[in-house]
Structure 1
Amino acid sequence: MLSLIQLALRNLFAHRERALLLLGITAAASGVIVSVSSLSAGVAEAQREAITTFISGDLNVGGFFKVHPDSIAPVVGDAAKVRGVLAKSVPEGCSVRERGRSFALAGAGRRRTGSFLVGMDVVGERGALERFRVASGSLESLARPRTLAISTTLAERLQVKPGDIATLFAQPVGGGRRNALDVEVVAITEKAGLLGESAGLLVSNDTLRELDGYKPGSAGVLQLVCGDTPVDVDALGDTLRESLRGAGFDVLPATNESYAEKQMPLLREGWRGQRLDVSTWEDESSFLSFVTLGLAALAVLVSAVVLVLVVIGLFVALSVAVRERTREIGTLRAMGMHRRSVVALFLMEGLLLGLVGSTLGAVLASGLCVALRGAVPLQGEISNLFFSGTLPLAPGLGLGLLSVVLVTLGAGLATIVPAARAASLTPRSAMEAL
């Protein structure tokens, strides 16, 4: 084997112009695969960060409460008991935060507009507040009673700015007359990309309780936030469902739906009381799965096209090389080299070209992705689609190794037919050729 490697290296050096060209092809192919895969992975990371900032935790323990069969509210009545069950299963490195879920009509003067209303633990979520893009005002001011942060789109509709007074209208738990609450606008937030107005109205949890008529000790949803800590949220969700059932709660089965999609079917059911729901961040953002799935499919398609082009290019180049090296092959065969050794020699040359070229391309592309990550600004719809104001790239060792393996295997595949053709030559015909 060592002698074959040495001979293959000697042949590549002897035909270095062709070898450099083929190295460039394999390096470019590997670089394209790494770049496209890094973009797909980066958008997936940016999407998850946006979702777990605005509308969901990594895992959510929420609920639906019905005072009577024709009313429903997204609230957990006995939040302390649920926290006790959740605390026993929280992985190390994760934390629990409280959020509120609701829908409200906001008014200023004669103007009205409706949007999703999100309650926050302002004091406990200092880190999350930094991820919101604020056009004006301060989100920290939400810690004051009866204050509101409103998205840029809704602020334009209502023609309000920080310091103005707006009125929130909501249906309290159990129905009855609509509740109204005057609030001070303290911040204007920018649109959350494709999440749109999912967090169009932001208030503190206390303000949301007052508006929706929730009793003290209730909560909208308890969210498990793990950041960079790796957690199998599906397995943890199953564990929590069993624990909550064991504690006496009525828990909904797992479905790949957001709480808003579950609310209307549950409203039509004729039960009363409390039902809990455990969902993952992927469940809550299932309506956005087309973004990551589409980019992943694009990455696979581009990688497949690139590999096909590499295989075709190397096949043509190596087929020409076999014809040009006919006398050399005849000499080797006349010196006693077996057909299998001839095949192995050409395969070794192809694999070396693929390995060296793809490694070089992967390293260069990864370095370029690291340099460009967060440095290329995005505007308009592209920024919304990628959930980021800058180009989200996430190169990794796994992506680099995958591109090296794929391109190297492609190079080996392209070498099989030329290698077999070289091995089929007899010493006499090879020596008499040309």
Structure 2
Amino acid sequence: MKWLKFAWLNTLRNRRRSAVTATIAALGTAAILLAGGFALFTYQALAQSSARTTGHLIVGKPAQFERDEDTPLQHGLDDVDALKAKLMADDAVRQVLPRVEFSGLISNGEKSTVMLAAGIDPDAEFAVKGPFLTIKSGKVLPGGERNNIMLGEGLARSLKAAPGSSLTLLASTTEGALNAVDVTVVGVFSTGIADIDKRLVYIDVQSAQKLLVTQRVSTLGVFLDRMDSTPAAQARIQALLPQLAVQTWLDQATFYRSVKELYNRIFGALGLIIGVIVVFVVTNAMAMAIIERTREIGTLRALGTLPGQLVRSFALEGLLLGGSGALAGALLSVAVSVALLVFPVMMPPPPGRSVGYPLQVAIDPALYAGTLVAMLALATLASALVARTTVHKPVVDALAHV
């Protein structure tokens, strides 16, 4: 304890230099924590969004995930009600949503354009997923009614359609023939991604199956009680349905994986650069302190102080400088993170999207603990390495130092 007190008093001998060193360590720590917290928040938001879109688990035939279909629902699921009953028997399963995916043409009588359609169970879909769409006009698909659709904002604009408009859907049936059905627009929505809004159509499952002349569905989305249940539930359901493929939300979250890989590289490099800067600042401060105290070191050596004790003293000085700076940086990071919750800041729309999002920074205990430990270790190690050369200098040379 006396060595720690001794190191603390030594840091106060040149308060301006110590303050500058601690400030740079604080800013470096805060930068790492804020960047890392932003990345973690992004990962969490994208993970929740991906799981909410597809389901925590996606059940389908193996060919559905491996090969393209020659005709709609070629690799679709049969006996959907029986499959849903088996899946709902699992304690972790909260809801199972059928999905019919197909493409075709949509026409207003004067103009036809390509569509990407999704047949859904409206009541269950919006109850489980919540407000995953922004309704621009009209309402969401009503349950129990047939031949109603919702259009993406860009597609509605292209067709000059609005709630109440009558349109026609054309698609190939499961036998390869053409079929058409007249539908009524009940709502116009936006997903926040302009390219998707130019093509996407939502229709109820029964109307989609009638158009395609089939009772199949493309996949079943399985929603669980929590995200952490995904691996265990996948293993149970795969054992229950060995003839089918059970993928997780992560298997289909291409955008999530790409963003995570990119951010890991960017913020990893940022953290490395900041760590190097902090090491050099602490090293420079300790080197100056050691040079100024070379004769003092010689005197202590002459009085019998061991080199190891002096190295430990200087290492403790670096620990105090780096530790105080890292702690201040952590407090600054927490303050900024909380302030962003109280005073929201909107980010501009990222590439490919039409809406912005709130800037938030996650406060992750593991990230804070790891960063603080790393900063303490770097500052202590840098100080010890700088001190080793001088404390092992011959006592006579140290006493004669000018």
Cα RMSD of the aligned pairs, angstroms, is 2.8
Aligned to 2:78: 77
1:187 maps onto 2:155 in alignment: no
Instruction: Output the CA distance in 1 between the equivalents of 2:161 and 2:150.
Output: 11
Instruction: Output the CA distance in 2 between the equivalents of 1:204 and 1:59.
Output: 21
- Report if the CA contact (8 A) 2:72-2:212 is conserved: no
Counterpart of 2:80 in structure 1: which amino acid?
A: A
1:218-367 alignment to 2 at 5 Å?
218-226=216-224, 228-233=226-231, 235-245=232-242, 250-251=243-244, 277-286=245-254, 289-367=257-335
Post-superposition CA distance 1:378-422 (Å, at most 9, x none): 23335839x852224323112211221222222123223212123
Counterpart of 1:39 in structure 2: which amino acid?
A: F
The normalised TM-score by structure 2 is 0.88
Instruction: Output the CA distance in 2 between the equivalents of 1:24 and 1:402.
Output: 20
Counterpart of 1:44 in structure 2: which amino acid?
A: Y
Identity of aligned residues (%): 23
Post-superposition CA distance 1:252-287 (Å, at most 9, x none): xxxxxxxxxxxxxxxxxxxxxxxxx32111221225
1:214 maps onto 2:214 in alignment: yes
- Report if the CA contact (8 A) 1:65-1:75 is conserved: no
Aligned to 1:57: 55
- When residues 118 and 150 of structure 1 are mapped into structure 2, their CA distance, relative to the original with a 3 A threshold, is same
SS at match of 1:115: strand
1:152 deviates by 1.3
- When residues 383 and 11 of structure 1 are mapped into structure 2, their CA distance, relative to the original with a 3 A threshold, is farther
1:119 maps onto 2:119 in alignment: yes
SS at match of 2:187: strand
Post-superposition CA distance 1:179-217 (Å, at most 9, x none): 2121111221124338835981112222222222232xx
- Report if the CA contact (8 A) 2:155-2:199 is conserved: no
Instruction: Output the CA distance in 2 between the equivalents of 1:45 and 1:348.
Output: 38
Instruction: Output the CA distance in 2 between the equivalents of 1:367 and 1:132.
Output: 32
Instruction: Output the CA distance in 1 between the equivalents of 2:206 and 2:160.
Output: 26
SS at match of 2:122: coil
Aligned to 2:348: 379
- Report if the CA contact (8 A) 1:366-1:400 is conserved: no
Aligned to 2:13: 14
Counterpart of 1:206 in structure 2: which amino acid?
A: Q
Aligned to 1:99: 99
Consecutive unaligned residues in structure 2, runs of 5 or more = none
Instruction: Output the CA distance in 2 between the equivalents of 1:19 and 1:53.
Output: 50
- Report if the CA contact (8 A) 2:349-2:356 is conserved: no
Aligned to 1:148: 149
Aligned to 1:259: none
Counterpart of 1:186 in structure 2: which amino acid?
A: V
- When residues 193 and 320 of structure 1 are mapped into structure 2, their CA distance, relative to the original with a 3 A threshold, is farther
Instruction: Output the CA distance in 1 between the equivalents of 2:328 and 2:239.
Output: 50
- When residues 98 and 335 of structure 1 are mapped into structure 2, their CA distance, relative to the original with a 3 A threshold, is farther
1:407 maps onto 2:375 in alignment: yes
Instruction: Output the CA distance in 2 between the equivalents of 1:400 and 1:63.
Output: 44
1:368 maps onto 2:323 in alignment: no
Instruction: Output the CA distance in 2 between the equivalents of 1:352 and 1:76.
Output: 64
Aligned to 2:28: 29
- Report if the CA contact (8 A) 2:193-2:353 is conserved: yes
- When residues 391 and 16 of structure 1 are mapped into structure 2, their CA distance, relative to the original with a 3 A threshold, is same
1:425 maps onto 2:362 in alignment: no
The normalised TM-score by structure 1 is 0.82
Instruction: Output the CA distance in 1 between the equivalents of 2:395 and 2:194.
Output: 67
1:72 deviates by 5.3
Consecutive unaligned residues in structure 1, runs of 5 or more = 252-276
Instruction: Output the CA distance in 2 between the equivalents of 1:310 and 1:180.
Output: 67
After the TM superposition, which parts of structure 1 deviate over 4 Å for at least 4 consecutive aligned residues? Answer: none
1:142 deviates by 6.1
